[in-house]
Structure 1
Amino acid sequence: MVDAAYRIPGTSMAYIWSGTNYIKVNFTPGKVDSVLRDTASIRSTWKSLNKAGFGTVDAVVPVPDTESSIYVFSGAKYLRLKLDLNTWEDTLEYGEPSLIVSSWKSLKKVGFDRVDAAMVVPGSKKNIYFFRGLEWVDVSVDDTIISQGTIAESWPSLVQAGFDTVDAILPNNDDTYYFFSGDQFARIKMPKDEDTLVSKPESISSRNTLKHWV
């Protein structure tokens, strides 16, 4: 199972998290997958996550309108870190991790004390889609709820793929996204707010880079 994913901006490279481990891979449409860094424990490599006590990662999403700052969610807490794209060093940007419901009043209001997956809203510089269980919410960085609903009523591509929950989302460089759910993933096209299923779901184990992560 894939718990979280993060695309290094403008590249084919991605970090994928599962359980207490992570891997760095080339993982992009139309190219052969390859491992760039073998599986390693999160706490042994990610200094900021180890310092914060994050042994697992539930969701990762870029901070909108930034180049290398990311939000990382683990259990009931989250933090903001900066990833140096030259050295790959990670550093905490705002000290200690915080409770999600303390810092995100919008998520507390909709009952999201934890986050399963998240993505920057396509075409937006300030909005994030958060997923939790069967539901989703669109939240702006100023902590305002824009819209919300269930996956079943709002995401036809995910319904078509047979996904009623979302575990992780990996953006590509062509207006498409890989959505992971359970032991499968599907490619979804989202140039803006409309979502279309590009390719039918595949087993995560069908990819050599992720075949042990099911």
Structure 2
Amino acid sequence: MWQILRKDLRIEWRTGEILSSMLLLSILITLVFAFTLEPSRLRGPEFLGGLLWATLLFSGTLALNRSFLLEREAGAWTALALCPIDRGSIYLGKLLANLVVLLLGAAVLLPLMVLLLGTRDLQPNLLLPASLILGLIGFAAIGTLFSAMASGTRAREVLMPLLTFPLLAPLLIAAARTTTAGLTGEPLEAVQSWLLLLGAFDLVFAVAGWLFFDYVLED
């Protein structure tokens, strides 16, 4: 698991291909929001959480879609399948690497969105990092599994969103709600049930990915 994590992060550190593509798309989407929505709405922090997660959905899917592309192109997919290690650990290593990229992207994107959209009256609290971390764990768990499934198909750019978006709907709703609470200074009690939903979502799909990755790798 740790070898996979180090390998992916080292490659991304050298090339910056996935993170740069994610950030470029995020900036373009943010500019679309800035030019098409009413400025009075954009200045309120209550809209920023939803806009942030809508942007992360598209840019993050682009990033996750390339998770196993290098192994496919380099002919290393068979080598992964033949490794004498638990295949679930390969999934966990990929998940952690994807999570690091998504967290870095979100950390850069949030202040950029505040700047480009002119958002005011922010009152951030600890719910903000908690909601981002929990939301992105679930996003990475689903995205990593389905990226592996779609990587061997010619239509992976189309197949990946079709597979992931329906499953991500409850996560995005909960993440947007808790992120908004973290931006507006709401107390924990106001969104405790949403945080529990995020935690349960993360646990279920991370375990499911770990269990089913063995069958995905065989295909």
Instruction: Specify the structure having the higher radius of gyration (Cα).
Output: 2
* Bigger helix fraction: 2
Q: TM-score, normalised by structure 1?
A: 0.26
* Bigger strand fraction: 1
Q: TM-score, normalised by structure 2?
A: 0.26
Query: Could you say which structure has the greater relative contact order, defined with CA pairs below 8 angstroms and 6 or more residues apart?
Result: 2
